[in-house]
Structure 1
């Protein structure tokens, strides 16, 4: 595995992206897994899903600067957390890459997606007409920036009970290869604003956010 991107957003938050070049056996050789984790591995379909799961765990060890065992279970909604460290975390993966965001500032979310034209076919399923109104119909990169932003906030708030279309609204923004947008999340009869950062990474789009609203 090769580190291709490491960024410290501030003293409390950082993320990293790795290119997965190892085999399953090579990744397993760098981990210590308990019975629950081994059972999880067995439940995954072989191939990319297994590589993705293993790669995020190896990357966690890199960011935490340890070769030892890291307890990283998931809660009832599938949101991963660290048992023995103060960081909130979020994991992502897409094709040949895996990513980890960690912060002591608050809950966080990250999403990495390869940019493909399929987003043109599903844009009405996750964006309101008011959101589509400020996006050029063929601006695939801006559409993916919006998708990654909503996915990142979805992960941040716990992977539950929120609709991309109905409960999240992105305010108008001018797309650049790297920028920030404001996303409004409607939850529990309240509205929470989030500043979501996005950037183009090779042929991928990346979105990440840290909670400062104490949702």
Structure 2
């Protein structure tokens, strides 16, 4: 499968989606892995998690346009980074899709989620009463997924642990459409960061993405 969707955000920032239709062996053959990565993949069963891990790495390789080994590590906070290439990256996956965002200039964050009604049951765990008040009943599920994806994208972009979606990330009211922008803030201690998070609905998936 080729790249299913690719969006150029600015001159040095883009994201893309890969629909995972291959088996694990086929994806594995497209990668170059070091001994640590090979050992890590052996710990994963032939499950969706394994396919997701492989899918994000194949997509990253395609976006960077290289056949060389890509040294992709994860820092102490769980944020992926490239050791020897000048890109900030963010990875996400959900069911049949892998998503990757890259930028040469700034930290980025992306989240993709398949839209399901279960989000309504947990909304009060990541949304404040003020945020819940502006949810449009006509678009409850989709709008809640925008909020989740926006907060997840900000969390990944910020790249530090111990951030509460409910207490530290706040979203300004917005009218839901199939795509748009949400203004947000991450506030924790002395940190007060403003973000403009973009979102788009693709098939039955919601995507939120942000650049610092």
TM-score, normalised relative to structure 2: 0.96
What are the ranges of 5 or more consecutive residues in structure 2 without an aligned counterpart? none
Structure 1 runs (4+) deviating above 3 angstroms are none
Distance 1:159 1:51 in 2: 26
RMSD: 1.1
Deviation at 1:57, TM superposition (A): 0.7
The 10-residue stretch of structure 1 (77-86 or 107-116) with the greater mean CA deviation from structure 2: 77-86
Deviation at 1:68, TM superposition (A): 1.6
What are the ranges of 5 or more consecutive residues in structure 1 without an aligned counterpart? none
> What is the aligned partner in structure 1 of residue 187 from structure 2?
186
Deviation at 1:113, TM superposition (A): 0.1
> What is the aligned partner in structure 1 of residue 80 from structure 2?
80
Correspondence 1:114 to 2:114: yes
Instruction: Tell me if structure 2 keeps the 8 A contact 1:2–1:21.
Output: no
TM-score, normalised relative to structure 1: 0.95
Deviation at 1:161, TM superposition (A): 1.5
**Deviation readout 1:150-186 (Å, 9 max, x if unpaired):** 0001111114120000001000111110000101101
> What is the aligned partner in structure 1 of residue 25 from structure 2?
25
The 10-residue stretch of structure 1 (153-162 or 95-104) with the greater mean CA deviation from structure 2: 153-162
Distance 2:41 2:189 in 1: 35
Q: How does 1:38-53 map to 2 (within 5 A)?
A: 38-53=38-53
Deviation at 1:42, TM superposition (A): 2.3
> What is the aligned partner in structure 1 of residue 171 from structure 2?
170
Instruction: Tell me if structure 1 keeps the 8 A contact 2:169–2:184.
Output: yes
